[in-house]
Amino acid sequence: MFPKCFFPPILIILFTFLITVPIVSVGIAKTDNDEEEDRYQRLREQMVNRQIVARGVENRPTIDAMRNVPRHKFVRSGEQRRAYLDNPLPIGHGQTISQPFIVAYMTQLINPEPGMNVLEIGTGSGYQAAVLAEITDQVYTIEIIEELGEWGKQNLRSAGYDKVQVKFADGYYGWEEYAPFDAIVVTAAADHIPPPLVEQLRDGGRMVIPVGSPFRTQNLMLVEKRGEDIRTRNLMPVRFVPFTREEE
């Protein structure tokens, strides 16, 4: 005689199995992911020590930002493992994410501080914007290739940089609505300094921009605005993708 409500042992075993397997596998998946993130964190530490601090970058907010931004989330899928190498990487549409040292060097040049209003020209992967967003909440970035900018925006959102504002336009004209800017970072090489950008720089503000012919070595320039006086300084030879004037 069996009681009315009888569960055969096989059903109980099956039931327990169905409940525990998903729980255990979620646990394992999470651990794998954590391990992966730990590994990237170690690679990032090495990148900061060997490529950035060892080469003379001293600015604290810049170093901390480079240590915090998950660069592997700003490269193409399949390239994550190369994200912390000492070179630029292709991001599609003939464009590149800059070498880590260059990003740090340009960031240090604007003397970044919390509360600063910063404009970037050339969103690309969104990485430079993320580094700036680690330091200040007001980051605006403009990309001329909409498809690329959409990807950059998604990278920023999925890495948690929700406040960065992205616009698709020719960055030559800046972003009047949010001007004046304490700093402007241009990440594509122009053959001259765009006057609208100088215009939108706050008195006392700084702009860093590669200037020179496309596909050749250019000069990284620091532009400082002191009233009517615009001071420019050549800092070092660099190679950037060209500053274009029309969507291709």
List of residues contacting ligand SAH (CB under 6 A): 95-98, 121-122, 124-125, 127-128, 142-145, 148, 170-172, 187-188, 241, 243-245
| Cβ 168 to ligand SAH shortest distance, Å | 8
Chain centroid offset of residue 187 CA: 11
Alpha helices, DSSP H only, in the chain?
9-47, 60-68, 100-109, 127-135, 146-158, 195-199
Smallest distance from ligand SAH to CB 174, Å: 10
| CA contacts within 13 A on the Cβ side of 205 | 21
CB of 102 to ligand SAH, least distance (A): 9
Shortest CB 205 distance to ligand SAH, Å? 19
**Residues 213, 190 contacting (CB under 8 angstroms):** no
**Cα radius of gyration (the chain):** 24
Comparing CB distances to ligand SAH, the nearer of 62 and 98 is 98
> Which active-site residues does the annotation give?
98
126: left (phi over 0), alpha (psi -120 to 50) or beta: left
Nearer to ligand SAH, 73 or 225 (CB): 73
Residues 6+ apart with CB under 8 A from 199: 174, 179
Q: Which residues contact 213 (CB under 8 A, 6 or more apart)?
A: 189, 191
* Cβ–Cβ < 8 Å for 186, 140: no
Give the residue from 141, 118, 133, 128 showing the smallest Cα distance to 163. Answer: 133
Comparison of 63 and 197: residue with beta carbon closer to ligand SAH: 197
Among residues 8 and 78, whose Cβ is nearest to ligand SAH?
78
- At closest approach, how far in Å is the CB of 30 from ligand SAH? 30
Query: What is the SS3 assignment for 2?
Result: coil
Nearer to ligand SAH, 63 or 184 (CB): 184
